[in-house]
Amino acid sequence: MYVGTKKIFEKYDQALLEQGNRIEELVDLASDALYRHLDKYQSYAFLIGPGNNGADGLSLGLKLALNKKEVQFYCFSTHHSPANSHYLEQVDQLSIPVAKMDQENLESFQEELNLYDVVVDCLFGFGLNKPMAGIYKDVAELVNNECNSDVVAIDIPSGMYCDTFNGGDTIIKADLTVTLTALKQSFLNPASQEYTGKIQLEYLDAQSFHKQLGFARILERNDMVRIMKKRNYDDYKHRNGMAIHFTGSSRYRGASVLAAKAAVYSGCGIVALSSVALVEQAVCNNVPEVVFDFLEGTTMEQGLAKYDSILVGSGLGISLESIKTVFGVLEYARGPLVIDGDALTILAKRQEILKEISTKLVLTPHIGEFKRFCHLEDGDDVMAKAVSFARENRIILVLKGPNTIITDGNTTYRNSTGSMAMATAGSGDVLAGMISSFLAQGYEPLNAACLGVYCHGQAGEEVALTSYMAVASQVIEKIPAVLKEFEDCNLKYSR
């Protein structure tokens, strides 16, 4: 299942047109895909807007009318897209009733609203970029407050933006939304479900451009089952990977504790820490499984060579010593490297070196940290920016937040797990530790990032079932059970 932004959907439509499809042919394909979700009713009220979403509704209504269904169109604009006009002509030729709506006949519309089995919302599609006003707002409020019939939205409920959920505006509340090609990014916000109702995804019978155009795949449970590596009876700690963490400072000792414990609980064979004495003592007291390996200066190159993955940055601070550590690790690392927290702040000031580093890098910024690397303005397509940044710098980017973005610039995923209860200190340190663990265990970097993000989110969800806050240390305790669940499914499917 894919998800897209407004710009990606626009590119998709353009790509289909460039393949030689006429817009009327694409509308016809859309109504074919929609038909199977609406043919169970006998009487229909179609709310037709001015654009191609309205054209989809007109085409669908024509097919239903030809199949002996009772169809009434309500048109709310005198200006129509070419496709919209094309289908209105066909409606006129077949003498299907069309009510041309204005403020004066809204009262009669209100009286007729409940005469139909279903009201089909085709006012606006994914291109809407401002709140509905005037008659459109009035109609939406009538549907929301007065309609007892089923309400089905075509592609997206009218009034809802494609990229961000605008719950403060007037939006038609549907019982069912039949969305085309991919989920709209705003659907990822759980609050949108009040307006979308149940969502059904349909595809046009046309060429797919999902991967080429940058649609993101939604990470799902079956992806984790597929990714999970099988463990062997004769495994031992070195075979399960060695990770070293350059984390923590006298002020942020807990970050090291959380990252190290998360790495251990995620299955890493050996987790080592290189930090100051106060941090080492804190980790020793809380995670006795961790070993200590103080690497600096001339010992760093030789010392790093024996580790399968490296984490640098969580709680490290931005002192001169921290800066030396970050650039020392970047210079001598030969295995995959996770860059988190303060290391991101340090690296952002010399980000040009990203292109010079040959080892595989996984950067794990939140949106504020990402803005230090990539200029973002209000209204920018964050997913497109993330993909472009990852591609240009040949890195794996884990852009943390609701429905975290994971991308290598070619393949992009959006996470489907997590909870608002996880918005608390230490969550990022846990995730960084998990990803370093999976890298050490031999997972491909993109898979390691996906597995870390998804499992971290699910562990947080499980804590949030019984707790107001998913405290980072509690999330760690859930990691082994989440991974065991995926491993058991993996073993079951492979038999």
**What residue segments make up the domains of the chain, in order of their start?**
2-209, 221-494
As a whole number of angstroms, the distance between CA 486 and CA 46 comes to 45
End-to-end CA distance of the chain: 26
- Fold assignment, 2-209: Rossmann fold (3.40.50)
95 exposure class (CB count in 10 Å sphere: 0-12, 13-18, 19+): exposed
The pLDDT score that the predictor gives to residue 495 is 41
Q: Are strands 405-407 and 396-399 parallel, antiparallel or unpaired?
A: antiparallel
The architecture in CATH of the region 221-494 reads 3-Layer(aba) Sandwich (3.40)
DSSP 273-305: E---HHHHHHHHHH-TT-EE----TTHHHHHHT
- What tens digit of pLDDT does each residue of 295-345 get? 776 678 888 999 999 999 999 999 999 999 999 999 999 899 999 999 999
Give the CA count within 13 Å in the CB-facing half-sphere of 244: 21
Helix or strand holding residue 397 (H, E):
strand 396-399
As a whole number of angstroms, the distance between CA 367 and CA 378 comes to 12
Q: Which residues of the chain have pLDDT under 50?
A: 494-495
Domain 2-209 matches domain 221-494 at the CATH topology level: no
As a whole number of angstroms, the distance between CA 186 and CA 312 comes to 34
Q: Is the pTM of this model over 0.85?
A: yes
- What tens digit of pLDDT does each residue of 404-447 get? 999 999 999 999 999 999 999 999 999 999 999 999 999 999 99
Tokens found for residue 115: 């005469």
Nearest to 27 by CA among 88, 68, 96: 88
Tokens found for residue 493: 């499917």
Give the CA count within 13 Å in the CB-facing half-sphere of 313: 28
Are the C-beta atoms of 184 and 215 separated by less than 8 Å?
no
